[in-house]
Amino acid sequence: FGPQRLSGQNVVVTAGGTQEPIDPVRYIGNRSSGKMGYAVAQAAVTMGAKVILISTRPELPVPAGLHKIIYVETAAQLQGTVSSVFEGADVVVMAAAVADFKPDQYVTHKIKKKPHPTDMQLTLNQTPDILAMLGQQKTHQFLIGFAAETEDLLQNAQTKLTAKKVDLLVANDVSQADRGFGADQNAVTLLRPTAAPETLALADKSVIATQILERVANLLA
Ligand code: C5P
């Protein structure tokens, strides 16, 4: 039981919310700050892993000791990037809040206001579920998903665990201001296919990240 419990493991972490452009100046986004994913990446480095971080947040400080950081914006770019490193990964942590919907069309010029206020429609398409695709494709990889919910947290998380074929699901109540999106702290429940749920008490995201990866190291050992 030492600090280097993930040495020799290739860990891929996605972090932040994707942005789906409407036109050159507007996008559909979400409230994910990237802090939880960055905390997981940093904790994995500390535990000796070779870490690739796929991030939507170029303004955040780069965790020391990463093998590589790759910046993306859209769900499609995140999908392409995570797919390209999936085969070589031992552990994949999908902490990013990937857009579930994107504009049907990208308008190449800034959409102008009408002279008189009028209703406008924006048609959205559902994006492919990257985590579910990885769940189908995985061979040896240990796959971790996140579920941010505002109601029926455990029930929704349990459904995702099964439907997406993940090995560990981190369920996150984002209806409270002191935890989850944007906050420095988090309180989560860990769900696994065969074990009872385990709740981790409110703590700094760095502490939660280490606790999650300790569980992973135990399961890989
Ligand atoms: O179903 P939901 O989007 O809430 O699931 C959250 C989990 O699924 C997260 O781990 C997130 O990274 C992943 N996800 C994904 N592709 C999507 C939507 C979510 O990989 N299009």
**Ligand 1 and 190: CB distance under 6 A:** no
What does the mean pLDDT of the chain come to?
94
101, 29 contact by CB (below 8 A): no
DSSP for residue 69: E
pLDDT digits (tens, 9 = 90+) for 107-139: 999 999 988 888 999 999 999 999 999 999 999
Residue nearest to atom 9 of ligand 1 (CA): 146
Do strands 50-55 and 101-103 pair parallel, antiparallel, or not at all (unpaired)?
Answer: unpaired
- Testing ligand 1's pocket by substitution, the residue of 129, 134, 212 carrying the most ligand atoms inside 8 A of its CB is 129
**Ligand 1 and 92: CB distance under 6 A:** no
Do strands 142-149 and 91-94 pair parallel, antiparallel, or not at all (unpaired)?
Answer: parallel
Per-residue pLDDT tens listing for the chain (221 residues): 567 999 999 999 999 999 999 999 999 999 999 999 999 999 999 999 999 999 999 999 999 999 999 999 999 999 999 999 999 999 999 999 999 999 999 999 999 998 888 899 999 999 999 999 999 999 999 999 999 888 898 999 999 999 999 999 999 888 887 777 878 888 899 999 999 999 999 999 999 999 999 999 999 99
192, 167 contact by CB (below 8 A): yes
Residues sharing a CB contact under 8 Å with residue 209, sequence separation 6 or more, in sequence order: 36, 39, 40, 42, 43
Asked if the interface predicted TM-score (ipTM) of this complex is over 0.90, the answer is yes
**Ligand 1 and 98: CB distance under 6 A:** yes
